[in-house]
Amino acid sequence: MTVVRHEAAVRALSWPAARDLAARSARPLPPADLPLSRALGCRLAGPLRALVAVPGSDVSAMDGYAVAGAPPWRVVGRVLAGGLPYGDALWPGEAVEIATGAPVPPGSESVLPYERASGGSWVDGRIEAGRHIRRRGEDIAEGAVVLGAGAVVTPVVAGLAAALGHDILTVRPVPSVAVLVTGDEVVDHGLPGPGRVRDAIGPFLPGLIDWAGGRLTSHSRLPDGAAPLHTALSAFAPPPHPRQNPQEHLSSRPGENPPPREGSSPEPRGEEPSREGFSPGKNPQLREDLRFRSGEKSPPPEGFPPREGLPPREDLRLFPDEGRPPREDLRVRSGEESPPREGLPSCEDLRVLADEGREAREDLLARSGEGGGVEVVVVCGASSRGPADHLRGVLGELGAEVLVDGVAVRPGHPQLLARLPGGTLVVGLPGNPFAALAAAMTLLVPVLRGMRGAGVRRESSALAGAVRAHERDTRLVPVLRSGRGAIPVGHDRPGSLWGAALAEALAVVPPGWSGEQVELIELPTGG
Ligand SMILES: Nc1nc2c(c(=O)[nH]1)N[C@H]1C(S)=C(S)[C@@H](COP(=O)(O)OP(=O)(O)OC[C@H]3O[C@@H](n4cnc5c(N)ncnc54)[C@H](O)[C@@H]3O)O[C@H]1N2
Ligand code: MOO
């Protein structure tokens, strides 16, 4: 045991080094052309130009009469927005009735609003030269650059882009994140019985991922054990060293052997897999899974994938939820009439959980074939060195390159960052919830920001309150800002989110700190 701890201590990176390495490990995602609605939240890969002038022609800014020359004017026609323009130029002494936004006829000198006009087939009134006509390009000239590369596609930017004639925007896509929550003792609803604990990490990750600029695309529960983790993670990488029998754990339960699938042999080793390596066309097992899901019986035609019959992205998103059996379903499956027993999970529960290793994998495979891919996988728990902590071993089996293995930080010491063959990053968070948050702020947030090409804002502050520095490790201390400096809120034990929930930021207290200003890292407070 001493040896294990010693090795861990030697390998642990300093907190600033781990954060920097995480940011550097994240390659900005290549630009993609996305329809406006899907580009929301992404950053523009290049400048946004006006494809058309705004307004596109000389138009009326008021409902009234476009007039030429001196009053009174003879009304010679009517133009409505969206209707046909008036065919001729106006001669002095002529007017056309006109709607706001409709093109004014050539020769129009101004628009007389209805409220200022008198008369019927002839109108009279006082005008100001050029008034109430919006000239072509007056708001935005055709070809003008209205926003620079890197601007976030907010809802307003989407509206502006539409007004400028864009249907598709070239953006840095939002990184997709899959979450795997491990732990036989972890329950995701209700009151945890003896020996069980409510999942406190799964519920904070979607909001944190969103806030950091990522998009959660799947969320799955896994039982403890190397095999389910291997099965689920292998969806992201062709395993170079397949386990002897990765299905052994799952299929050893009666009646649960997965149906054999044609063409499920692993990708040959040696060929450097790319993100495109996960396209169904190149991955026979993925093709098979997609076929299975789309209800196809016969082999797909050339030029796979057949999109018809496949569930849309939104439907796929539901699969992990469907894969997680609701409480009622568990009760029925285990033959119980009365409410489920409190306490440790039954064999039946565990069997269902084991199914989820496969479910999660199938869902992930289907998703990666859907065109999105998954850039980051977050594994909660299993990152330490106990008998149920298999992440390190499974990453080794999958040929992952481990970038960070332990960080000299309290809490959150046992955190991991690795790159799977094919490029997907894996972030391992400790099981203790505050430790998981601290680790997510150290590795996951910089990774997601880096993938979006977003810079890092740095804030520093004095600490107004007693804080004890750690001898060797950085401490992350939940604080509230105040005029006097950042005030520690307490309640910061690794197993509890109480302090972090009270706080606005985490103060980064370096080892041996002696009272100087400290960095604050912003927490997603939603304010
Ligand atoms: N021999 C060593 N033991 C431990 C070390 C170490 O370095 N050497 N580090 C300790 C620290 S620090 C932490 S943090 C934990 C991290 O352990 P794991 O990541 O392997 O997580 P688990 O063992 O599965 O769980 C730890 C703890 O957290 C609870 N848990 C797990 N998942 C959740 C969840 N989703 N929501 C709420 N709580 C969760 C779990 O029940 C345990 O109580 O390792 C120490 N041990
Ligand atoms: O990561 Mo652990 O204590 O630091 O919870």
Pairing mode, strands 73-79 and 94-98: parallel
* Residue 406 in contact with ligand 2 by CB distance below 6 A: no
Q: What is the 3-state secondary structure (H, E, C) of 320-378?
A: HHHHCCCHHHHHHHCCCCCCCCCCCCCHHHHHHHHHHHHHHHHHHHHHHHCCCCCCEEE
What is the residue with the minimal CA distance to atom 4 of ligand 2? Answer: 411
Return the closest-CA partner of residue 63 out of 116, 100, 96: 100
Does the CB atom of residue 411 touch ligand 2 within 6 A? yes
The residue type of 229 is L
- Give the atom of ligand 2 at the shortest distance from the alpha carbon of 495: 5
First to last CA, the chain: 45
The position carrying tokens 């935005």 is: 140
- Side by side, the strands of the sheet bearing 64-67 are 110-113, 64-67, 94-98, 73-79, 122-124, 118-119
| pLDDT of the chain, 527 residues: tens digit per residue | 333 333 444 468 999 999 999 999 998 888 999 999 999 989 999 999 999 999 999 999 999 999 999 999 999 999 887 777 788 899 999 999 999 999 999 999 999 999 988 888 899 999 888 999 999 999 999 999 999 998 999 999 999 999 999 999 999 889 999 999 999 999 999 999 999 999 999 999 999 999 999 999 999 999 999 999 999 999 888 645 444 443 333 322 333 333 333 333 333 333 333 332 223 233 333 333 323 333 333 333 333 233 333 333 333 232 233 333 333 332 323 333 333 333 333 334 444 444 555 565 555 555 444 334 899 999 999 888 877 789 999 999 999 999 999 999 999 999 999 999 999 999 999 999 999 999 999 999 999 999 987 777 789 999 998 899 999 999 999 999 999 999 999 999 999 999 999 999 999 999 999 999 999 999 998 76
Which ipTM was obtained for this model? 0.96
CATH architecture observed for domain 59-134: Beta Complex (2.170)
432 lines ligand 2 (CB under 6 A): yes
Tell me which of 383, 405, 410, 429 to substitute to probe ligand 2's pocket, judged by most ligand atoms within 8 Å of the beta carbon.
410
Supply the residue whose CA is at minimum distance from atom 9 of ligand 1. Answer: 384
Domain boundary assignment for the chain: 2-29+175-451, 36-53+145-171, 59-134, 459-522
b/e code 392-428 from CB counts within 10 Å (16+ = b): bebbebbbbeebbbbbbbbbbbbbbbbbbbbbbbbbb
Question: Does residue 432 line the site of ligand 1, with CB under 6 A?
Answer: yes
Question: What pLDDT is stored for residue 178 in this prediction?
Answer: 96
pTM equals 0.69
Token pair, residue 241, equals 């060293």
DSSP letter assigned to residue 142: T
C-alpha 438 – ligand 2 centre gap (Å):
9
Q: What number does CATH give the domain 2-29+175-451?
A: 3.40.980.10
Q: Which of 432, 443, 475 to mutate to test the pocket of ligand 1 (most atoms within 8 A of CB)?
A: 432
| CA separation for the pair 525, 527 (Å, rounded) | 5
Tokens 């890092």 sit at which residue? 456
* CB of 494 closer than 6 angstroms to any ligand 2 atom: yes
Asked if residue 385 has its Cβ within 6 Å of ligand 1, the reply is yes
Ligand 2 atom with the shortest distance to the CA of 430: 1
**What's the Rg (C-alpha) of the chain?**
31
What's the one-letter identity of residue 19? R
Q: CATH: 3.40.50.2020, 2.40.340.10, 3.40.50.2000, 3.40.50.300. Which one for 459-522?
A: 2.40.340.10
User: What six digits make up the tokens of 162?
Assistant: 């539409």
384 CA distance to ligand 1 centroid (A)? 6
